Structure 1
Amino acid sequence: MQKLYYGGNIIAMTGEHNMPEALLVTDEKIAYAGPKAGAEKLTGPDTEYIDLNGKTLMPAFLDGHGHVSMAAQMALNADLSGCGSYQDIINTLKQYIEARHISENDVVVGFGYDHNFLKEGGHPTRQILDQVSERIPIYVSHASGHMGCANSAALKLAGIGSNTADPQGGVIGRIPGTKEPDGYMEEAAMIELQKLLSVHMKMDLMKGLRIVQQEYLKYGITTVQDGASSTDAVQFMKKACDEGAFVLDVVSYPVMSEADPGQLFIEYPECDRKYNNHFKLGGYKTVLDGSPQGKSAWLTKPYENSGDYCAYPWFTDETVTGFMEQALRDRKQILVHCNGDAAGDQFLKAYEKALKKIPEAADADLRPVMIHCQTARDDQLDKMADLKMIPSIFVGHVYYWGDIHKKNLGDTRGRRISPCKSALDRGLVLNFHQDTPVTKPDMMHSVWAAVNRITRGGEVLGPEQRIGVYDALKAITINTAYAYHEEQEKGTLEAGKLADLVILDKNPLKTDKMKLKDIVVLETMKEGKTLYKK
């Protein structure tokens, strides 16, 4: 099947001013990009001519970092993102339970509350959640995915009590003056609780996967990530792969913790850094700290008005160096979650130390990635350039939590959250992500945030870190393809590449910068096939 697109703005992403007149797609690949007359020489009697009528055609977007398996689960959970108070959370959970006739043999999960935007300014601990039910186990996750709360029934089901110690890299909230858990779980403690509860959860994850893939397509995304995949998550995604459930390309990065993620590459060699039914294992991922909006990102200097509190690491330096050595020995790309600059220091020092021990890995083109980079300093960006690291920046932080960061970090650190311009100035191959399900996978919102740097409260935060529209578009197309070692197949409109395409209602290069977030995805195509149309 052959399609010839013309009559609109075609952004090839091969240069800011390279706007081919026509694009020819043959089956799943791009056959030609250039003058229409040249394209017509390659057409046949069955070629479909598609007039863009002034709309914009460009490469489909690639997700720099996210959690598609978690998003599939959260698509089935109670949505708490619109809650502005504890009572809103209580009401939403009660309605969710009633609508689904949930019994005490089930586990209820809510996702998306943010204490920063609740009237009470705190977390809904067991005292609050017990008002929903004292019999049905309930767990609610913070929007950041780094903390949450459980009711008494959930704590009992998980076996968490006064004798349960805080895990390394995590905190169990306690009722003041006692060792009794108050329901609040942070970082590693939250992950442990989720593991303990997950065996009791009943949900159709395949249904959730269908829902979330359509959500990604709605925003023009055709390549997504599952960062820090558990063994269970990889097995679920391999099942989805075998059943032909993926319509997007999914890149999984198994988590480095106690289990050896390398075993999954041995178990599924057909997915080892190559797609099998749209699924592949890309490398390893680890997490070194929490989130700045939750004040669990590990900093070198204390949070504002918090005494000497800098948060804490998830792992010892020795453990992190061990992770890096394994990644280099196995010749695997490593993705490392670093929100705080102390976590960034730990990653950079460990990677450099591991490279000295395994110097031959330096020539393997592994492209290590620092995920989030929220408080990355200039000296750290310099070191990243030396180590050929990639910054994947959650630039939406500027809008969603910029006001909170300024309050928690002070003006100097707050204004350089998501340091995109500093990264580009050093030649780093910057890409963007939304950390879905933390925020919606809205790529044009990320472009808008990077270009304008406006907070939810309307303040311009760190205008010196603004970047141009074309550079922002690179961060959601070709630069992300590079991060996945897929720059020869995706990210630009060139002959021989996959026809992963998106049609927008307006040209972002000619749109008022303040209106970039309002650009609408009209159609998303994967390998020449339309999978979403507005």
Structure 2
Amino acid sequence: MVEVADLIFINGNVITMDETVPRAEAIAVRDGRVIFTGDSEGALALKGDATEVVDLEGKTTMPGFIESHIHPTLYGLNLLELDCRPANMESITDILEAVSEASEKAEEGEWIQGWGWDDSKLLERRNLTRWDLDKAAPDHPVILKRTCGHMAVVNSKALEVSGITESTESPKGGHLERDKETGKLTGLLQEKAQGMAAVPEYGFDDMVEGMKLAQKDFAKWGITTVHDMSNQKHDLQVYQYMLENNELNVRVRPWMWAIDQNGWTGSLDEVLKVGLRSGFGNDMIRIQGTKFMLDGSVGGRTAAVAEPYEGGDKDSTGILYNTVEEIAPLMKKSLEDGLRVAIHGIGERAIEVAVKSFELANETLDITKMRNRIEHVGLPTDDHLERMKKLELIAASSIGFLYHIGDSYLKNLGPERIKRAYPHKSFKEYGIKAPGNSDLPVTNGNPWTGIYTAVTRKTISGQVLDEVQNISVEDALKAYTNDAAYSSFEEDSIGVLKPDAKADIIVVSGDPFEVDVEELKDIKVEQTFINGKQVFSKSKIPEMTKG
């Protein structure tokens, strides 16, 4: 019996990301899945009386993007806070004015929270301090998170409320920065020290409100699936609540935050106790595994690198959170109970701990088919890549960093190390799957900037970082479609347009294979569909017609 389509796209330039049929003209959809890709005549043969037909008028159409590493609810909550990103606030003066305005509206004792500042892009080219914030809001506790998420600055009131004094010592895996001349706390909290700030938790309703805002941006960027890399109890409840109320418009792939770190509560023991395994869930929400974290960021100079940062002393090599002896047994517990592992490792020292820990687990348990992941994989050595290949580990590469904060990477790493930062050409040569990501809200979540940088190795300022690790447009697109889908065992159902795949479809303003590479970053998403349901539209494509 011939299936009758619910929705048909005709007269398009369809990039299927299916190697067997890479291009098509039309797509037919039924019950949220693709039932046909081919020519318009073949698609229209599946039309019924109630079928909706979209004439693409030659526009380029692709599978929806998969963001392999972001923090959806965190980004949503950030959208409720002061937006200190460089696009909004160019200087410390701008930030202080916004903080001052917020303090005038705040109730007594209310925290003022913000996010997104980047010292490398501020006019003053320095970090904020407690003394800066004291001028703007002396009577309200203030915390502003840096764009990388690995540092925050607080004012004196926040230190007082949090019980942090001049005699307080830095926690293991964190650092309370002190002024080099006076020895006094500057208010900068690095890595695990961020968890010392007594910031009140957001409520459930706040999280739902924020997630609704966040998924609007996902749809605008053409993102139809997101991997939540810091999932905790309330995150999972938010997704389920929104799904139950038909308000969830993006597929979510949660990774459960494993142990207490950076102010976040781990749930490894509880998750293992109830018997949760990777793959549990449905097409909209599906559990992936557990997430661990080993170091910080290059932008904040806290990633655990092998050699000192440019211009730093011999001890300027970042912060390593855990040793192999500490983290390997925890990872093994997760793997033995059927929960895949993703572990954050940017610097060489962190990546070494991650790889060695996976190797130890593999001695007694074959983990090679589990598609475990190292997150970011900022500075792997050839030895790391060889060992990752043997274990069939996935490199969840934050290639988007090089566009948005690549200038600070070059400054902190120098011209030689940058040649192997997020090395997509090397990943391909070693046969390592490397889905791309932005780590939103660390950097902007628009996948086209990551695709552009993977191809050009250029930063937002136009600086060419290197001419060593460039990859093709096709491979860059795979990083946000096929390879990202592979990382969740879904390469046949998402990130591709072929029969039986999910009808996650985007219509874009240009053909990435035809435009000049410099225009890749400027391609816009005009329509986004999830399960054949339109969740975003800004294009001039004619309205759907029936029959």
- For 2:477 and 2:464, how far apart are their aligned partners in 1? 21
State the partner residue of 2:362. 355
2:67/2:484 contact within 8 Å kept: yes
State the partner residue of 1:307. 313
State the partner residue of 1:118. 122
Q: How does 1:21-100 map to 2 (within 5 A)?
A: 21-82=25-86, 83-98=89-104
- Deviation, structure 1 residue 350: 1.0
Matched, 1:157 2:173: no
State the partner residue of 2:447. 443
- For 1:346 and 1:265, how far apart are their aligned partners in 2? 23
State the partner residue of 2:456. 452
- For 2:460 and 2:251, how far apart are their aligned partners in 1? 32
Aligned AA (1:322): P
- For 2:443 and 2:275, how far apart are their aligned partners in 1? 31
- Deviation, structure 1 residue 175: 4.2
- For 2:412 and 2:67, how far apart are their aligned partners in 1? 28
Evaluate the alpha carbon distance shift between residue 202 and residue 149 of structure 1 in structure 2; reply closer, same or farther with a 3 A threshold: farther
SS at match of 1:307: coil
Aligned AA (1:70): L
Q: How does 1:30-429 map to 2 (within 5 A)?
A: 30-82=34-86, 83-98=89-104, 101-176=105-180, 180-193=184-197, 196-199=198-201, 204-258=206-260, 259-264=266-271, 273-276=279-282, 278-308=284-314, 309-356=316-363, 358-359=364-365, 361-362=366-367, 365-429=369-433
Deviations 1:461-507 (A, max 9, x none): 11121111111111111111111122232111111111011011111
Single out whichever of 305-314 and 33-42 deviates more from structure 2: 33-42
- For 2:319 and 2:115, how far apart are their aligned partners in 1? 24
- Deviation, structure 1 residue 172: 0.8
Aligned AA (2:216): Q
- For 1:469 and 1:191, how far apart are their aligned partners in 2? 41
Deviations 1:174-226 (A, max 9, x none): 24466653211000111342xx3134889722111111000010000011122
Deviations 1:77-105 (A, max 9, x none): 0001133322111012223444xx21233
- For 2:220 and 2:329, how far apart are their aligned partners in 1? 40
- Deviation, structure 1 residue 17: 7.0
- For 1:254 and 1:313, how far apart are their aligned partners in 2? 21
2:162/2:196 contact within 8 Å kept: no
Aligned AA (1:288): L
2:340/2:372 contact within 8 Å kept: yes
State the partner residue of 1:4. 8
- For 2:485 and 2:225, how far apart are their aligned partners in 1? 9
Aligned AA (2:72): V
- For 2:25 and 2:176, how far apart are their aligned partners in 1? 59
Deviations 1:416-468 (A, max 9, x none): 22111110111111111111111221011111111111123322211121111
Single out whichever of 424-433 and 400-409 deviates more from structure 2: 400-409
Evaluate the alpha carbon distance shift between residue 192 and residue 202 of structure 1 in structure 2; reply closer, same or farther with a 3 A threshold: farther
Q: TM-score, normalised by structure 2?
A: 0.91
- Deviation, structure 1 residue 408: 1.5
Structure 2: gaps (5+ residues): 261-265, 539-547
- For 1:203 and 1:155, how far apart are their aligned partners in 2? 28
State the partner residue of 1:486. 490
- For 1:267 and 1:244, how far apart are their aligned partners in 2? 27
Aligned AA (1:290): G
- Deviation, structure 1 residue 300: 1.3
Q: TM-score, normalised by structure 1?
A: 0.93
Aligned AA (1:305): G
SS at match of 1:63: strand
SS at match of 2:132: helix
- For 1:366 and 1:241, how far apart are their aligned partners in 2? 28
- Deviation, structure 1 residue 16: 8.8
Evaluate the alpha carbon distance shift between residue 469 and residue 51 of structure 1 in structure 2; reply closer, same or farther with a 3 A threshold: same
2:204/2:234 contact within 8 Å kept: no
- Deviation, structure 1 residue 41: 3.2
- Deviation, structure 1 residue 67: 0.3
SS at match of 1:294: coil
Single out whichever of 130-139 and 314-323 deviates more from structure 2: 314-323
Aligned AA (2:219): L
SS at match of 1:197: coil
2:103/2:137 contact within 8 Å kept: no
- For 1:440 and 1:275, how far apart are their aligned partners in 2? 29
Structure 1: gaps (5+ residues): none
- Deviation, structure 1 residue 13: 0.2
Evaluate the alpha carbon distance shift between residue 268 and residue 70 of structure 1 in structure 2; reply closer, same or farther with a 3 A threshold: farther
- For 2:413 and 2:406, how far apart are their aligned partners in 1? 10
Aligned AA (1:450): A
Deviations 1:35-71 (A, max 9, x none): 3333333332322222111111110001110001110
Evaluate the alpha carbon distance shift between residue 192 and residue 286 of structure 1 in structure 2; reply closer, same or farther with a 3 A threshold: farther
Matched, 1:473 2:488: no
- For 1:188 and 1:166, how far apart are their aligned partners in 2? 9
- How many residues of Structure 1 are paired with residues of Structure 2 in the alignment? 526
1:293/1:404 contact within 8 Å kept: yes
- Deviation, structure 1 residue 247: 1.6
Aligned AA (1:456): I
2:64/2:505 contact within 8 Å kept: yes
* Identity fraction in percent: 30
